[in-house]
């Protein structure tokens, strides 16, 4: 095994893989509505990292998935509040929305994607209240990069110290934290993050009680501010080979107990402006695996 992937973790923990129910919880984002920023992160599309989800009632979305042929492939499930900021509402509203999804005992995980600056003690308590003997709670936090300089340029809207605080707050309540990082972010107009930035981000994650990591490639979605930057020549996407090398670097540097939930992005069909390779997930995964195999074989040779 080249790394500890999610399928392996799920088999070890639950005895099988879990189906994922992607739910639009009706949330917005404080980085879009003016509370902490406007326009959002420069790469974010209109639906906030959940472009394929159809809006509907939470229970209806869950039921529809459970009744679908796709659900038949799995015995148990993850209820995943994916788009926008899944803790951006008053605590009682959050409680109701999460409970609306947990309509079936086969749902073993409640997973909520959010921003670190939208996690406080009260909201962490609400999340933790859904943990029981049969159910785990995961909270996904978008870090993207440990660099505050990059964070400012991409309009992330919070300092990295806030991420560290949120991880501790969630972990201390038994919530499993999954961090998102993005490879290939611009740090300034015409300047892209490189290997040193990837190492710094991974080193920060390694120093924290993080359960999982999602690694994404940066792709340009049409109509975003990144798209404007790209159009005027201020951002050059990574090549597939560059991305594979940096992703392999990140993976091989991560603590071995950290579960890799994904190693590339999932770009929305029809909205991709660049790079073309981002649409071919299989090719990206194969390229990363090849880099990992090569570096493992180089390491083996140098130890002989």
23 is a contact residue toward ligand SF4 (CB under 6 A): no
Stretch that binds ligand SF4, among 36-44, 120-128, 205-213, 255-263 (CB under 6 A): 36-44
Find, among 146, 218, 142, 228, the residue nearest to 186 by Cα.
Answer: 218
> For residue 144, what are the β-bridge partners?
181
Q: Are strands 220-221 and 272-274 parallel, antiparallel or unpaired?
A: antiparallel
Sheet holding 212-217, edge to edge: 19-23, 77-81, 107-114, 136-144, 176-183, 212-217, 259-262
Task: Provide the terminal-to-terminal Cα distance of the chain, rounded to the nearest Å.
Answer: 21
Q: Which is nearer to ligand SF4, 84 or 211 (CB)?
A: 84
Give the largest CA-CA distance in the chain.
60
166 is a contact residue toward ligand SF4 (CB under 6 A): no
44 is a contact residue toward ligand SF4 (CB under 6 A): yes
Distance CA 120, CA 235 (A): 35
User: In this structure, are residues 114 and 86 in contact, taking their beta carbons and an 8 Å threshold?
Assistant: yes
Stretch that binds ligand SF4, among 2-10, 41-49, 56-64, 266-274 (CB under 6 A): 41-49
Phi and psi at residue 103, to the nearest 5° = -100, 5
Answer for which of 9, 77, 81, 84 binds ligand SF4 (CB under 6 A) is 84
31 is a contact residue toward ligand SF4 (CB under 6 A): yes
Stretch that binds ligand SF4, among 39-47, 129-137, 207-215, 243-251 (CB under 6 A): 39-47
Q: Which is nearer to ligand SF4, 149 or 203 (CB)?
A: 149
Distance CA 172, CA 200 (A): 24
Q: How far is the CB of 265 from ligand SF4 (least distance, A)?
A: 12
Stretch that binds ligand SF4, among 24-32, 62-70, 132-140, 289-297 (CB under 6 A): 24-32
291 is a contact residue toward ligand SF4 (CB under 6 A): no
Q: Which is nearer to ligand SF4, 199 or 225 (CB)?
A: 225
Q: Where are the beta strands (DSSP E) in the chain?
A: 19-23, 77-81, 107-114, 136-144, 176-183, 186-188, 191-192, 212-217, 220-221, 259-262, 272-274
Distance CA 20, CA 113 (A): 13
The CA-atom distances, in angstroms, between 226 and each of 9, 184, 206, 269 are 34, 12, 29, 17
40 is a contact residue toward ligand SF4 (CB under 6 A): yes
Q: How far is the CB of 218 from ligand SF4 (least distance, A)?
A: 12
Answer for which of 19, 48, 184, 268 binds ligand SF4 (CB under 6 A) is 48
Q: How far is the CB of 181 from ligand SF4 (least distance, A)?
A: 13
Q: Which is nearer to ligand SF4, 31 or 217 (CB)?
A: 31
Q: What is the per-residue binding string for ligand SF4 in 194-233, x denoting contact by CB under 6 A?
A: ----------------------------------------
Q: What is the per-residue binding string for ligand SF4 in 117-156, x denoting contact by CB under 6 A?
A: -------------------------x--------------
Give the single-character DSSP code of 297: H
Q: Please give the residue ranges that form the binding site for ligand SF4 (CB under 6 A).
A: 29, 31-32, 40-41, 44, 48-49, 84-85, 115, 142
């Amino acid at each position: 095994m080249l790394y500890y992937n999610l399928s392996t973790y799920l088999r070890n923990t639950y005895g099988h893989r879990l189906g994922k129910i992607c739910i639009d919880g009706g949330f917005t984002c404080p980085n879009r509505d003016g509370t902490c920023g406007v326009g959002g992160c420069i790469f974010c599309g209109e639906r906030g990292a959940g472009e394929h989800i159809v809006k509907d009632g939470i229970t209806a979305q869950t039921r529809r998935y459970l009744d679908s042929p796709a659900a038949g492939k799995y015995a148990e499930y993850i209820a995943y509040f994916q788009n926008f900021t899944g803790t951006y509402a008053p605590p009682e509203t959050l409680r109701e929305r999460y409970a609306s999804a947990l309509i079936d005992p086969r749902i073993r995980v409640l997973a909520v994607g959010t921003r670190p600056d939208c996690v406080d003690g009260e909201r962490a308590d609400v999340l933790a209240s859904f943990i029981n003997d049969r159910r785990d709670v995961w909270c996904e936090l978008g870090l993207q990069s440990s660099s505050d300089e990059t964070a400012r340029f991409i309009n992330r809207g919070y300092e990295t110290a806030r991420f560290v605080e949120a991880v501790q707050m969630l972990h201390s309540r038994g919530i499993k934290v999954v961090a998102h990082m993005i490879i290939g972010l611009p740090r300034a107009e015409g300047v892209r993050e490189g290997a040193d930035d990837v190492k710094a981000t991974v080193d920060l994650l390694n120093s924290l009680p993080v359960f999982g990591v999602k690694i994404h490639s940066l792709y340009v979605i049409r109509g975003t501010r990144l798209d404007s930057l790209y159009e005027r020549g201020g951002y050059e996407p990574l090549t597939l080979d560059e991305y594979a090398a940096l992703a392999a670097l990140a993976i091989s540097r991560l603590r071995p107990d950290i579960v890799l939930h994904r190693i590339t992005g999932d770009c929305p069909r029809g909205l991709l402006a660049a790079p073309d390779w981002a649409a071919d997930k299989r090719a990206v995964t194969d390229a990363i695996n090849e880099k990992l195999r090569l570096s493992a074989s180089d390491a083996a040779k140098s130890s002989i």
